[in-house]
Amino acid sequence: MVRDDIKLSIEQAMAAAQAGGALPDIEWPAVEVLRPKQTGHGDYSTNVAMVASAAARKAGGNVNPRAIAQAIADHLPADGPIGSVEIAGPGFINIFLADEWLRRQVPKIVEAGSSFGNIDQGRGQHWQVEYVSANPTGPLHYGGARNAAIGDALANVLEAAGYTVQREFYVNDAGNQFNIFAATLYARYAQLLGRDEPIPEDGYAGDYMIDYAQGLVDEYGDRFLTMEKSAAITELKVLGEEIVLAALQAQLAKLGVHFDRWFREQSLYDSGLVDMVLEKLRVQGDLAERDGAIWFLASNYPKVEKDEVVIRTNGMPTYFASDIAYHYEKFAVRGFDRVINVWGVDHQGHVPRMAAVMTALGLDPGRLTIVLHGLVKLIRDGKEVKLSKRRGTIITIGEVVDEVGADATRFYLLSRGPESPIEFDMNLAVAESASNPVFYAQYSHARICSIAVMAPTKKVTPDFDNVALELLTDPAELTLIRKLLELEEQIETAVEKLSPHNLTFYSLELARSYNAFYRDCKVLDADAPALSNARMYLCEAARIGLAKTLALLGVSAPDSMYAEVEL
């Protein structure tokens, strides 16, 4: 990565300056290289001279930060990425990338193709991203779409950073909610067959339950009315789960989200893992009986105030019991190096308890990270739409995707930090979907593809084996290359912050750089074949960068935008 190379050069320059006596022999601060906001301040800049000056003052010396900066600058290598260096302001060292070096990066981008931007950070470590994990009791509502978009993009970005990633959906099919779901399904099924069977209290009133039941009627007729009600519900649990998981899968596919594994909570009971892990905790003294229930003594651990019930008075385990076993399974059985759980903030109270669970299981809590995201407040016709699966007042992902489009939806949901709450006005979203910024990035990609198609009619024949890179001298060309080279840093940032939304902004910046290039530099010119060839080569690099960025976000990179209009 360029930034790391520059950082290393600065460190070496500092050491060389010290060895040569140009700088005092003191303990140096860590070098930080950052990108200045002002373009006039270079591609990269470091404040190390200012920090070093303060350190020197503390050590009894008194060295002007600008003098330190100059001494460092004098020892920077002349070849490589660093073109020129300026000392500015109170002691900033501003570094400008060399044009010649920039041009040499274009072939590297084209040769890397879809792996362009990838960084070797994960070194094959096995990470898991668990996301969505909505209750399997009905269609996904809009809030689930945000979770899906974040989790999916996060997994993409981690893969680009060299991690081996598993995408997992945890299916809560063992709890009370799922029992109620099955009972509701039974009632709807019976009603469809003419029996007066009321929906259970706290049942799921949404019409989609009728659709699910209709599917059962179509396939099985009245079979489940001919048996004992409880036996019927037991069978409907299995069939209902299949139906609802298929529905979830279809909805998520609409958003372009796919999972490697659907992990069933019930399997933790079937395998005996829940009992095993609870026994382990009991032996360790992490469990206690109180008021007839079994509690996990979470308050013995840091930052946790309350204990948590694992076995209810009625002998039924809580979701928390299986959650403990589930996380034990992730680390101790499957051996993930790290696990990222994507949750809505409404689960925030659960976070410190999970750290306590990890510690109690003898696992490093640092291996489990919870990414919390703000909830989505849906506005329709000027009023907030309260989401409730029970009452059936939900707007599903499918509805949103149908109205707004998958690309626009994902892009919108990823255009802000996870912790930021989102107010989503459906009417506005539909009205604005045509001018959604996602199309700006996609349009640039389509434009590049269009140029390649147009080339023969302009009598330009690309020859990417013989590219005269030295002809790429226009400021717009060099700016575009600079912007492309940022991708690695953008991926690094997204991984570090576990938040991929910076990539949405990057895709727009890259598109903007391309459009500026397109404006200033005529690509197809039969009178200048060598220049046309070099520019087509640069176009291909830009196309690769745009396609890669959009792919990380889970957004398509179309060859043409015309099809969109015809819809």
Q: Binding of RNA at residue 417 (CB under 7 A)? A: yes
Q: Which is nearer to RNA, 196 or 381 (CB)?
A: 381
Whole-angstrom Cα distance, residue 354 to residue 373? 17
Distance of CA 551 to the CA centre of its chain: 11
Q: 482 near 395, Cβ under 8 Å?
A: no
Taking CB under 7 A as the binding criterion, the range among 219-227, 275-283, 317-325, 334-342 that sits at the site for RNA is: 317-325
Q: Which is nearer to RNA, 190 or 244 (CB)?
A: 244
Residues 244-283 touching RNA, rule: CB under 7 A, are: none
Q: Binding of RNA at residue 318 (CB under 7 A)? A: yes
Beta strands in 32-163 (DSSP E): 33-34, 44-46, 82-88, 92-97, 126-130
Whole-angstrom Cα distance, residue 173 to residue 238? 9
Residues 26-65 touching RNA, rule: CB under 7 A, are: 34, 36-38, 40-42, 45, 47, 50-51, 54
Q: Binding of RNA at residue 319 (CB under 7 A)? A: yes
Whole-angstrom Cα distance, residue 202 to residue 223? 26
Beta strands in 315-404 (DSSP E): 338-344, 368-373, 376-380, 383-385
Question: Given phi > 0 = left and psi -120 to 50 = alpha, else beta, which region is 391?
Answer: alpha
Element (H, E) at 425: strand 422-425
Whole-angstrom Cα distance, residue 43 to residue 261? 43
Residue from 279, 419, 463, 470 touching RNA (CB under 7 A): that is 419
Q: Which is nearer to RNA, 81 or 374 (CB)?
A: 374
What angle do helix axes 99-112 and 529-553 make, rounded to 10 degrees? 60
In one-letter notation, the amino acid at residue 277 is V
Q: Binding of RNA at residue 482 (CB under 7 A)? A: no
Minimum CB separation of residue 459 from RNA in Å reads 12
Residue from 416, 469, 529, 556 touching RNA (CB under 7 A): that is 416
Residue from 487, 518, 534, 547 touching RNA (CB under 7 A): that is 518
Minimum CB separation of residue 334 from RNA in Å reads 20
Q: Binding of RNA at residue 296 (CB under 7 A)? A: no
CA distances from 426 to 116, 293, 383, 402 (A): 36, 46, 10, 12
Whole-angstrom Cα distance, residue 299 to residue 367? 21
Residues 490-509 touching RNA, rule: CB under 7 A, are: 492-493, 496, 499, 501-502, 505, 508
Residue from 195, 261, 306, 459 touching RNA (CB under 7 A): that is 306
Minimum CB separation of residue 406 from RNA in Å reads 14
Residue from 439, 477, 484, 545 touching RNA (CB under 7 A): that is 439
Minimum CB separation of residue 290 from RNA in Å reads 7
Q: Which is nearer to RNA, 228 or 291 (CB)?
A: 291
Q: Binding of RNA at residue 530 (CB under 7 A)? A: no
Q: Please measure the distance between the N-terminal and C-terminal CA atoms of the chain and give it in whole angstroms.
A: 42
Residues 344-363 touching RNA, rule: CB under 7 A, are: 345-350
Query: Exposure string (b/e) for 546-567, b if CB count within 10 Å is 16 or more?
Result: bbbbbbbbbbebbeeeeeeeee
Whole-angstrom Cα distance, residue 25 to residue 469? 44
Q: Which is nearer to RNA, 189 or 326 (CB)?
A: 326
Q: Which is nearer to RNA, 190 or 553 (CB)?
A: 553
Q: How many CA atoms lie within 13 A of 453 on its CB side?
A: 8
Residue from 90, 285, 362, 475 touching RNA (CB under 7 A): that is 90
Minimum CB separation of residue 288 from RNA in Å reads 12
Minimum CB separation of residue 171 from RNA in Å reads 10
Number of chain positions touching RNA (CB under 7 A) = 87
Q: Binding of RNA at residue 529 (CB under 7 A)? A: no
Whole-angstrom Cα distance, residue 260 to residue 312? 33
For residues 94 to 123, the per-residue mask of contacts with RNA, x marking binding by CB under 7 A and - elsewhere, is: x-----------------------------
Taking CB under 7 A as the binding criterion, the range among 120-128, 214-222, 268-276, 415-423 that sits at the site for RNA is: 415-423
Place of tokens 């009627």: 217
Q: Which is nearer to RNA, 11 or 525 (CB)?
A: 525
Residues 169-228 touching RNA, rule: CB under 7 A, are: 172, 175-177
Whole-angstrom Cα distance, residue 532 to residue 517? 13
Q: How many CA atoms lie within 13 A of 366 on its CB side?
A: 0
Residue from 88, 199, 430, 551 touching RNA (CB under 7 A): that is 88
